[in-house]
Chain A
Amino acid sequence: MRSTFSGLELARRALESQQTALDISGHNIANANTPGYSRQMANLQQTVPSSIPSMGHNLSIGTGVTVASIERARDLFVDRQFRWETSKQQYWEGRQDALTKIEGLLNEPSDNSLHDDLDKFWNAWSDLSKNPENLGSRSVVLERAATLADTLHHIDQQITEMQKGLDSNVRVQIKQVNVYAMQIQDLNTQIKRAEVAGDNPNDLKDKRDALVDELSKIVNVRAVESKDSTFKDRDVNIFKLYIGNDNVSGQILVDDSTAYQLEEPSTPGADGLPFAEVKWATGHPLGNVTVDLGDKLGSLQANLLMRGLDVNNASGQSKDTAYLANLRDKYNDLAKGIAEAVNAIHSVGIDRNKVNGLSFFVPDSGAVITAANITVNSALTSDPWKLATGKDEFGDGVIAKAISSLSSGWQGYLDSIDPDPATMPVDAASFGDYYGAAIAEMGVDVQQADRMKEGQDVLVTHMSNQRESLSGVSLDEEMTNLVKYQKSYSAAARLVTMMDEMLDTIVNRMGMTR
């Protein structure tokens, strides 16, 4: 026996479902431009059919439609790929940024660069060799030497400034990671609460995905969602977020409702040291250890590798783990080499009073000459006549010529020093060659960063387009849906009217006798 009003109930269900579907379409249209929004779809399903006996057998008859769930269009695999490519792209972007800045500060090829200063310095000696008795030529040599030293100081200072800048970036990013972790944990709790109540909180999940996307720019992330087996009759998920190298296990940042943090780095001193270190805070399952960030992923790693991994900024680091520190080493070697060569030749020569030359370049602090402390000996600047120019006679200019010839090679150097030194001041055919090679190498590095970033840009755009095509709102589609649901609604409304008329017949006119 079927219920009298079941038809009405069926129509009511239809109206309700179509209206819900319309609302969902409206929600999609409203959020068409919201970043990170995934298109939601109503999952319309038939309700449980009822079974009515009819003439000896059972008939299963449908009872209407309901919105079983509201799903969002999201592909986890595309998400994963997108985040992976974003991490790589942000690494190369960070690296390109820093390298371009370095290129700018070195200012080659121009007429105001270290290379130019070196050339002028060697030429000043050649000039002096013609007129050793001329006080003006001596002053020029000392001035050019001072300029050279100044340029080296300036470059060293710029490198330090850049390192400090990168270090403060690292600190900010560590804080950001921590903030994201807390926010994601918050959302996890809210989502879980909703899921336990049987709901599917799509908008909260979108928010969480957006946060994870942002995090993927800083470090490599891996989100793992699994079903919570304690809840058998509803869909509850456990959300875990890992960061850093995928091959190292245990680097978990958010474990469902627990958020771990990165350790707050120690405060730097006036010289900017020690640099910030990326470590797990105490309380993390792995302990207070350094985070393994993986291979060229995320802008945090780009900053770290450019700045230098060693928190005390030691010299001798390789180019791959400490680009700026390694660059500074090259300049230190250049300064030391120039000082060594010039000092060695100068001390063999004699000045006007037949006294052997003093050290031309001295460090103004510390024992070893570096780009930061190279200075012209003050005894020479205060008395230019102490410049040794001659070998056997004051006026023969041989020493000045030998120093000037350092520009093109070691012949003059070898001729002046006895016995021949075992190694040359720098590991190249001349100072100019050493410097040129360093510049060219840097140029290649910048080119590489440019090209890798461009390539990654294409990949990220491709992934982003894929995501958009899946989860993005297409206004055409929504409009069509609106038409669809609206017509269904009208039809369901017509159904109500018809049911009403039928019931009217039954209630008001059946069995009425006059």
Chain B
Amino acid sequence: MLSHNLLRNLEAAQGRMDQLQNQLSSGNRITRPSDDPVGIENALRIKSSISHVEQWKANASEGLAYMDTTDTTLGDMTSMLQRAKELATQGANGTMSEDDRNKIALEIDQIKEQMVQLANTKVGSKYIFGGTANKEPFPNGATQWQGSDDIVKFQVGSSLSLEISVNGRDLFGVDKGDPTATPTPIPPDLTKIGMFKALDDLSTALKTSDMDAIQKSIGDLETQADNVVNYRAQLGARQNRMDSLYQQLDSTSLNLTQSLSDIMDADIAKTLVDFKSQENVYQAALSVGAKIIQPSLVDFMR
């Protein structure tokens, strides 16, 4: 009977040591669901959350990259429109000859070409001004608009998606038609693109030395430039928002990781102390056991 009890207690002590050893070597307090069922439900939920937040962070980061490129492009466009306005003002000067105006017109043409290039900027596989249509917004030298009104959105929250670009259609002034006209609504004419028309008009006006037209163009270009600056400001505000969202997601991720660690990780110091004391108990049990199971009357009789 003594030996049964001894064996059972030794086994129990070894079992406890084994469990503590497991915790120490894995660093986790919870290695199986049965170690802490409530804890594990929380842990699984937090793990999911961390996974999503990391994904949204990646999305936000990629979104910011797009926005930066768009911003730079808009900046370029603004400076080119300014240049065009300068040239127009020059051309409006009555002292210029037809020849000079022709030369200015050539430069205006170049500016228009460059503008088309900018309008078709592509980052990776996306056209930044094409919206969700994913086609070149101004093909064939900008004879037609092929993009979409719908701006690409990136998911940065469980039900939050932010636009990463600006509305290409409104930026370049593509004709919208007149849906309220009677008796039938007028459909939009996709070949009428405001910005390029303004540049084309200026070029034509310069080539034909039409002073009135040149004056009008200066006004048009002014409007276009203001438009671009407007959109750039909008984009800037959105960029700030995206940036602060990114920061938020970052700190959320950190907090969640901390919470997960609180639930899952073993307190190494405490576990070590427990293990040591358990080891002591085990050794004491062993040595006591050796002493009590030996003697019986047999040893003392002749």
Residues on A facing B (Cβ under 8 Å): 99-100, 103-104, 106, 108-109, 115-116, 119-120, 122-123, 126-127, 129-134, 390, 392-397, 401, 404-405, 407-409, 411-412, 432-433, 435-437, 439-444, 446-447, 450, 457, 461, 464-465, 468-469, 472, 475-476, 479-480, 483
Contact = CB atoms under 8 A, between A and B. Distances in A.
A450 B55 CA distance: 39
Contacts of A120: 51
B32 interface: yes
A468 B1 contact: yes
A439 B131 contact: no
B245 to A, nearest CB: 15
Contact of A447 (B8, B34, B124, B152): B34
Contacts of A123: 51-52, 55
A109 B44 contact: yes
A2 B41 CA distance: 93
Given A133-B125, A404-B155, A440 B40 contact: yes
A397 B153 contact: yes
Contact of A465 (B5, B297, B301): B5
Given A393-B148, A457-B8, 14 more contacts: A116-B47, A127-B55, A395-B132, A396-B153, A401-B155, A436-B45, A439-B33, A439-B40, A439-B41, A439-B44, A442-B37, A447-B37, A468-B1, A480-B297
B152 to A, nearest CB: 6
Contacts of A433: 45
Contact of A441 (B4, B37, B296): B37
Contacts of A443: 32-37, 40
Contacts of B34: 99-100, 103, 442-444, 446-447, 450
Given A436-B41, A447-B34, A126 B59 contact: yes
A325 B62 CA distance: 46
B40 A465 contact: no
Question: Which secondary structure dominates chain B's binding surface?
Answer: helix
B202 to A, nearest CB: 34
A131 B152 CA distance: 9
B56 interface: yes
Nearest to B51: A119
Nearest to A409: B158
- In the A-B complex, the 3 residue pairs with the closest CB atoms: A443-B33, A443-B37, A446-B34
B264 interface: yes
A476 B37 contact: no
Majority secondary structure, A binding face: helix
24 contacts: A108-B32, A108-B40, A116-B47, A120-B51, A126-B155, A130-B63, A130-B155, A133-B126, A393-B150, A395-B134, A397-B155, A407-B52, A409-B158, A432-B44, A432-B48, A435-B44, A436-B40, A439-B41, A440-B38, A442-B33, A446-B33, A447-B37, A461-B8, A468-B1
Contacts of A432: 44-45, 48
A392 B159 CA distance: 18
B282 interface: no
Contacts of B125: 131, 133-134
A130 B154 contact: yes
Contacts of B118: none
B13 to A, nearest CB: 14
Contacts of A408: 48, 52, 158
A130 B62 contact: yes
Contacts of A435: 44
A127 B161 CA distance: 13
B57 to A, nearest CB: 11
B30 interface: yes
A457 B59 CA distance: 56
B281 to A, nearest CB: 18
A394 B33 contact: no
B17 interface: no
B87 interface: no
* Max count, chain B CB within 10 A of own CB: residue among A115, A393, A412, A450: A393
B37 A397 contact: no
A465 B62 CA distance: 71
Contact of A390 (B63, B132, B155): B132
A411 B298 CA distance: 82
B174 interface: no
Given A394-B133, A437-B41, A119 B150 contact: no
A71 B33 CA distance: 53
Contacts of A396: 132, 148, 150, 152-153
Contacts of A461: 4-5, 8
B43 interface: yes
| Interface core residue of B35, B41, B153 (most chain A CB under 10 Å) | B41
A440 B260 CA distance: 16
Nearest to A472: B1
A392 B152 CA distance: 12
A123 B4 CA distance: 56
B48 A115 contact: yes
Contacts of B130: 395
A103 B126 CA distance: 47
Nearest to A469: B1
Contacts of B4: 461, 464-465, 468
Nearest to A99: B34
Interface in B20-46: 30, 32-38, 40-41, 43-45
Nearest to A132: B134
Nearest to B50: A119
B48 to A, nearest CB: 5
Contacts of B52: 119, 122-123, 126, 407-408
A433 B148 CA distance: 38
Contacts of A104: 32
Contacts of A103: 32-34
A447 B35 CA distance: 7
Contact of A411 (B45, B131, B155, B159): B159
A136 to B, nearest CB: 10
Contacts of B132: 390, 392-397
Interface string B213-242: 000000000000000000000000000000
A159 to B, nearest CB: 16
Given A394-B133, A409-B158, A109 B264 contact: yes
A450 to B, nearest CB: 7
Contacts of B43: 109
Contacts of A447: 34, 37
A412 B159 contact: yes
B154 A444 contact: no
B2 to A, nearest CB: 9
Which of A99, A129, A440, A442 has the largest count of B CB atoms less than 10 A from its CB? A440
A108 B134 contact: no
A314 to B, nearest CB: 27
A392 to B, nearest CB: 7
A120 B148 CA distance: 31
A393 B131 contact: yes
Contacts of B40: 108-109, 436, 439-440, 443
Contacts of A127: 55, 58-59
B131 A395 contact: yes
Nearest to B155: A401
A132 B37 CA distance: 40
A432 B48 CA distance: 8
A476 B296 contact: yes
B47 A115 contact: yes
A437 B44 CA distance: 10
